[in-house]
Structure 1
Amino acid sequence: MATQRLMVLIFLHLLPLVAIADQDAFVGVNIGTQLSNMPNPTQVVALLKSQQIRHVRLYDADQAMLTALAGSGIRVTVSVPNQQLLAIGQSNATAANWVARNILAHVPATNITAISVGSEVLTSIPNAAPVLVSALQYIHSALIAARLDSRIKVSTAHSSSIILDSFPPSQAFFNRTWDPVMIPLLKFLQSTGSYLMLNVYPYYDYMQSHDAIPLDYALFRPLPPNKEAVDSNTLLHYTNVFDAIIDAGYFAMTYLNFTNIPIVVTESGWPSKGDANEPDATLDNANTYNSNLIKHVLNNTGTPKHPGMAVSTFIYELYNEDSKSGAISEKNWGLFDGNGRPIYILHLTGSGTMLANDTTNQTYCVAKEGVDRKMLQAALDWACGPGKVDCSALVQGAPCYQPDTVSAHATYAFDAYYHRMGMAEGTCDFNGVASVTTTDPSHGSCIFPGSNGSNGTFINGTSLAPSSNSTTSGKSSPFDSNYSVSFLRLIAVLVLSLVFL
């Protein structure tokens, strides 16, 4: 009987983790704002939609950003900035006012699903640690009063450096200095059905290991069995640093007798550029890490300790933050620049439509939706004129005349120019009215350049701001805004007239 009771207790204790295991993991992005040319909130949301990014984490509760996200369906994690933590942690009324102003004013139109109360508080502002749990409780109480507690989870993001002796994972434990905070925090997360937020950066673990950690192990690259790291206590095999850190977090919670709190990774990524002392901060390594991370998460691989259990992750970050201080690498964690152009094209073939697919062979340049019609017409005129695109397929009676819209005709002209220029970087922008896609825009007898008759999925090639008139491989910008619209139209008419003489 005692054994049966024990089994029932263990089963009930693990139910939350079982529920999480049944859910598909997601990949989201963090949105930092320290850019010299930060796009406006509407542009940010347009980029998110175009990339099919359905989960974002904000470092504050910016009103304009939350308003722009309304109606998008995108699931949003908002944050209480560290500088507001002390006030909220010491006053229930202050917490209630914060929730009223930043949450109640935006739901349900904006799909807020979580609140991160502070970021890396224990390691960045330890003086606020004594009020951290109170801050979470006060925020949660305000959500209860608004009947939103079942919809919006409350937690706080931690640096993985609070975990000591992280390998082998089975012997990991939280820094005991923080027991007076961690134990009540974990009790709160358990009682509210929330999760432990953890920032996981294999890049820093690799850098600080002084070559003890192989680069392939940090980048999720395949390892031969004899190169895998083995936990001597559990005999579990680890093929990457990311999984080892996640399991170290689970074992650290088990050490404190908490076995049913899931982990969500609130930050992870790899810089694409660094100082001379960071030789592995490269475009290729950043692409490899983030591509492999996304595939690893979306495949619901789980970890050796919890195989098949979701480890949802937010990539750090959406944009390169060029205004950040510090090392060059601090400015170069983004997937996109401030103009919405990808820093690199992720390799995600076979992992769904989120963010990008491998675009090496089959991409197209199309007109973006919702752009200014005059700008679009001017770009079309340029492509058919100075751009030297053969636009004869667009005249009445020709295969691509229908649909007879500026957008449809511009898409054909843009794509023709893009392929004529060898799909080179910067040749699908047209002053911000064009974007790259892997969806074949061909229709009926109108066959686009590069088409093989099959459709693909959208990829990360959207540019949301006018391009600078820089050159790529010695080529001039595909559209110079100094051209007047009327002059471009005149050129286009002359060229088309010559075509049909």
Structure 2
Amino acid sequence: MALHSCLLLLLLLLQISLLAADEAFIGVNIGTSLSDMPHPTQVVALLKSQQIHHVRLYDADQAMLIALAKTGIEVSVSVPNEELLAIAQSNSTAANWVYRNVVAHYPSTNITSICVGSEVLTTLPNVAKILVNALKYIHSALVASNLDRQIKVSTPLSSSMILDSFPPSQAFFNRSLNPILIPMLDFLQSTGSYLMLNIYPYYDYMESNGVIPLDYALFKPLPPNKEAIDSNTLVHYTNVFDAVVDAAYFAMSFLNFTNIPVVVTETGWPSKGDRNEPDATLDNANAYNSNLIKHVLNMTGTPKHPGIAISTYIYELYNEDTKAGPLSEKNWGLFDANGKPIYILHLTGSGAVLANDTTNQTYCVAKDDADPKMLQAGIDWACGPGKVDCSPLLQGQPCYEPDNVGAHANYAFDTYYHLMGRSSEACNFNQMATISTSNPSHGSCVFPGSLGKNGTFGNVTAASMNSTSLDSSANNVHRSLVLVIGVVVTWGVVLL
């Protein structure tokens, strides 16, 4: 019996470690409190155009699930709070819910998780008592359908239930909730699921009365003397988000649960607010969400778990103009009801997700951490076989300054990208380039993307960048970045 228990424990730990080792993703929440809610097919079209591959629904809307079918987009569906009581009191009701909203759509619609309620422990204390029953009944229905390995079951919690959250090493959950929390965490651990957590640094900042600096809430760089230090671990924290995630990890370990990963089901920043919300601005919303996306996709992790994925859903896809409450409640969206961006995210280096904005203002630029030698090789290729007119990079021309390989690569890469019709495959350069929504034009150096069209190059047939056998007899381009136009250069590596 002891050996059997040890084997089960080892398998469980392996399953959880594999879950935590998955690459982090950025998803979006899709609220529907709009006076003119787009049709599900329009929603899906927007998701595809933005290369959003993970969404969370606040219900299990049938039309939305049908529209998401065969897209490959990973979908988290929800049991609304008002349906919890019936499901928690009846195994058959839970089974019917799973059949109607999951089994009937899977696997055509790629449902990967079920959110059972939302912030139940802090908003619905009377219903909280039956939350674990609802979790178990939903999971049992998945087991009966042989879907429990593919679809995880959890419940989004508010970070407000974490008390004394800084320093994170002293954090603990509201002890009055322990009779519910402990069996809930035991369920998550035994099923290989994760803790779903809603984190809102905006509210932490607003309620701190100046204790939390705005830059610390927005992921902006801080000088070392401004970083927050956990006095127990001496770990430095540079943003609220990481500190709250680690507080959740420490709070779980205080209850002897140390192997449950965290997924952030909601976070964001409002772009507009009432007079008493002066920091709900377009610039701050842009800064928070742009920095969040880069932070998550860079696999930075947190100080307690560096390099461990913290997959995150942004709140939210659309501004919800019919939501009750202050003005900020209506303005958390990335887009308006017509699919127009509320602001253009600054996403250089974060990949393609949410970078291909609907205004067509996209650029191909060198990654911040790119190898200069590889960038130079990319410049040589673009200005040679790629048939890019690199004359603006010559000394004395508009794009010569700044005279460095990164700036010159930006121009060469972006020009090739637009020459090829802004195809995502044309912005790779051996993984040294990335699509960005930030215009790299400067001074009199105007990049093709800022012209609002796909370049002005006429009928040019560019060389294929997939070739591994470029002309080996080609001359070398001068390495001082004074580029000789039209020279064919040897580069025997795959660029795309």
For the 8 Å contact 1:22–1:309, the answer to whether it is kept is: yes
For the 8 Å contact 2:161–2:174, the answer to whether it is kept is: yes
TM-superposed deviation, 1:61: 0.2
Structure 1 partner of 2:233:
234
Gaps of 5+ in 1: 1-6, 365-436, 461-501
Structure 1 partner of 2:30:
31
Q: Does 1:218 align with 2:217?
A: yes
1:362/1:197 CA distance change after superposition, 3 Å: closer
| Secondary structure, counterpart of 2:112 in structure 1 | strand
State the distance in 2 between where 1:251 and 1:208 align.
Answer: 23
TM-superposed deviation, 1:37: 1.1
TM-superposed deviation, 1:126: 1.1
Cα deviations by residue, 1:359-399 (Å, 9 ceiling, x for unpaired): 999649xxxxxxxxxxxxxxxxxxxxxxxxxxxxxxxxxxx
Structure 1 partner of 2:61:
62
Q: Among all aligned residue pairs of Structure 1 and Structure 2, give the percentage whose two residues are the same amino acid.
A: 73
Cα deviations by residue, 1:4-38 (Å, 9 ceiling, x for unpaired): xxx99998775455324432100000000001111
State the distance in 2 between where 1:345 and 1:208 align.
Answer: 28
For the 8 Å contact 2:296–2:310, the answer to whether it is kept is: yes
For the 8 Å contact 2:12–2:190, the answer to whether it is kept is: no
Structure 2 partner of 1:297:
296
Structure 2 partner of 1:100:
99
For the 8 Å contact 1:56–1:77, the answer to whether it is kept is: yes
For the 8 Å contact 2:341–2:357, the answer to whether it is kept is: no
| Secondary structure, counterpart of 1:99 in structure 2 | helix
AA of the residue aligned to 2:221: P
1:247/1:438 CA distance change after superposition, 3 Å: farther
AA of the residue aligned to 1:171: Q
AA of the residue aligned to 1:113: T
1:9/1:306 CA distance change after superposition, 3 Å: farther
Structure 1 partner of 2:284:
285
Structure 2 partner of 1:336:
335
1:439/1:258 CA distance change after superposition, 3 Å: farther
Which residues in structure 2 correspond to 1:468-479 (within 5 Å)?
none
For the 8 Å contact 2:347–2:437, the answer to whether it is kept is: no
**What TM-score do you get using the length of structure 2 for normalisation?**
0.72
Q: Does 1:157 align with 2:156?
A: yes
Structure 2 partner of 1:120:
119
Structure 2 partner of 1:41:
40
1:68/1:201 CA distance change after superposition, 3 Å: same
Gaps of 5+ in 2: 1-5, 364-413, 439-496
| Secondary structure, counterpart of 1:158 in structure 2 | strand
For the 8 Å contact 2:262–2:310, the answer to whether it is kept is: yes
1:100/1:346 CA distance change after superposition, 3 Å: same
State the distance in 1 between where 2:143 and 2:198 align.
Answer: 27
1:208/1:110 CA distance change after superposition, 3 Å: same
Structure 1 partner of 2:141:
142
For the 8 Å contact 2:20–2:261, the answer to whether it is kept is: no
TM-superposed deviation, 1:57: 0.1
**What TM-score do you get using the length of structure 1 for normalisation?**
0.71
State the distance in 1 between where 2:54 and 2:48 align.
Answer: 10
1:96/1:21 CA distance change after superposition, 3 Å: closer
For the 8 Å contact 1:35–1:323, the answer to whether it is kept is: yes
TM-superposed deviation, 1:310: 0.3
State the distance in 2 between where 1:35 and 1:152 align.
Answer: 29
State the distance in 1 between where 2:38 and 2:282 align.
Answer: 23
- Aligned residue pairs total 378
1:363/1:311 CA distance change after superposition, 3 Å: closer
Which residues in structure 2 correspond to 1:102-501 (within 5 Å)?
102-356=101-355, 363=362, 440=417, 442=419, 457=435
For the 8 Å contact 1:266–1:315, the answer to whether it is kept is: yes
Structure 1 partner of 2:455:
none
TM-superposed deviation, 1:356: 1.3
State the distance in 2 between where 1:309 and 1:26 align.
Answer: 12
State the distance in 2 between where 1:438 and 1:12 align.
Answer: 51
TM-superposed deviation, 1:441: 5.1
| Secondary structure, counterpart of 1:119 in structure 2 | coil
